[in-house]
Structures are given as C-alpha cells and as structure tokens.
Chain A
Amino acid sequence: SQQGEEDPQALSIQEGENATMNCSYKTSINNLQWYRQNSGRGLVHLILIRSNEREKHSGRLRVTLDTSKKSSSLLITASRAADTASYFCATDEYGGSQGNLIFGKGTKLSVKP
C-alpha cells in the first residue's frame, strides 16, 4: 500500500515559473525524501528532510515539512524544461521494521519552453 498522496497529480507550467507539489502521508515518520523520475528511468534522490526539521533548501529546491499535518511540499523555483519529470515523496515509517521507503503516487510535472 502507498503511504503518500501527491497533489496535484499533474502540473503544467512555463519555463521560469515556480512549481509547487504537495505530499500528504498517513503515519508518523522519521524522515521524508523527494525523488525525481524521468520517463523510463530510475529514481534520483533530490532531498531528505528529517522529522525535526521544518524547511530545507538545495539549489532551486525548497522542501517544507509539517508533521502536525502530516504533509510536505516541494518547491522548484525558476523551472527549466529539464525539470520535466515525475516527482515522488517517500517516507520511512517511524517504528517501521526495516526502514524501506513508502512512496506516493507522484506528481507529473511538465515544463514548457
């Protein structure tokens, strides 16, 4: 079963605009990660935010985490056509047995040049 739900399911923007994707999850977590998947490729790790952190930045990426609402957001600023991909949040369940990641269904981002 999948832990997270990304919102929106699909997002289409123009190059240079910002893209915001949201993720909600169900159980208490240790950490939350965001991954990118280009069509037909494996997943690439973008950023990890711990449960005691509220915000984290990496380049053009900004991630927030609200554990009281069990939600996270990923902001991509000044988007580029190369950012076109599917984006997934993934959590590891607090107290979970082996620390495998539980993924959401993803947001499909399309950035038009």
Chain B
Amino acid sequence: GAGVSQSPRYKVAKRGQDVALRCDPISGHVSLFWYQQALGQGPEFLTYFQNEAQLDKSGLPSDRFFAERPEGSVSTLKIQRTQQEDSAVYLCASSPLAGQGNTEAFFGQGTRLTVV
C-alpha cells in the first residue's frame, strides 16, 4: 500500500480482555516501531523491529504487552488482560533504514484503544 496501515482504527475492550493490534508497514521498510500516545501527550516508544528481529522492547510497560513481526513485514501488538491505564492511541511507524533517527519515519493513523 501507499502508507502505513493500522487496524482496527478503534477498539473498545472490556477490562481483562485480550486485544491484538495490527500494523502493515510500507513494503520493503526495514524498521518498524510501536509507540503509545496518551491523551494530550507525545508518543512514547514501546518496541522496535529490524526486519523480523525485535531489537528493543525496553518501552513495553509490562509483561502483558507483546509484539511480533514474524516475517519481517506485518507486525502485531498484543495486550493481554487489558487494564484501564492501557487506554491510549497506539501508533506504528516504519522507515526504510535501520533505526529512525537519520531518516523520515512514516506513521500510521493509529489504533485508539479504550478499555472500559
């Protein structure tokens, strides 16, 4: 596709439910990042993939959060036993090079997760 695509755009989950958020990066992009954006705040880093390898997961807030990119393209962010504090917009970004600092990163429109 032309850009980074995320699905679903909106997700309402009951507390304790598991959710899976999908990211389709731009074809051929090496790097894929997940960010969490709380209301009125800037995005905060969650995890980083270079191709299929998860090189950094230091931003994942708890072991309830898990991300994968098994074939080096599509990525899934899974949150188990959702809590109200997980409510946020989850943004996916991809870039053609390793890392994100040296080049423009392309962001998807995000998935807005609301835990009730």
Contact = CB atoms under 8 A, between A and B. Distances in A.
B33 interface: yes
B98 A103 contact: no
A72 B102 CA distance: 17
A11 interface: no
A95 B24 CA distance: 29
A48 B45 contact: no
B72 interface: no
Nearest to A102: B45
B107 A100 contact: no
A43 B100 contact: no
Contacts of A48: 103-104
Nearest to B46: A100
B56 A100 contact: yes
A99 B102 contact: yes
B55 interface: yes
Interface centre among B4, B43, B98, B104 (most CB of A within 10 A): B43
A101 to B, nearest CB: 5
A42 B91 contact: yes
B100 A45 contact: no
The 5 closest A-B pairs by CB, nearest first: A92-B101, A99-B99, A103-B42, A42-B107, A45-B104
Given A31-B102, A43-B43, A43-B91, 14 more contacts: A43-B107, A45-B105, A92-B99, A97-B56, A100-B45, A100-B48, A100-B101, A101-B43, A101-B101, A101-B105, A103-B44, A104-B42, A105-B41, A106-B42
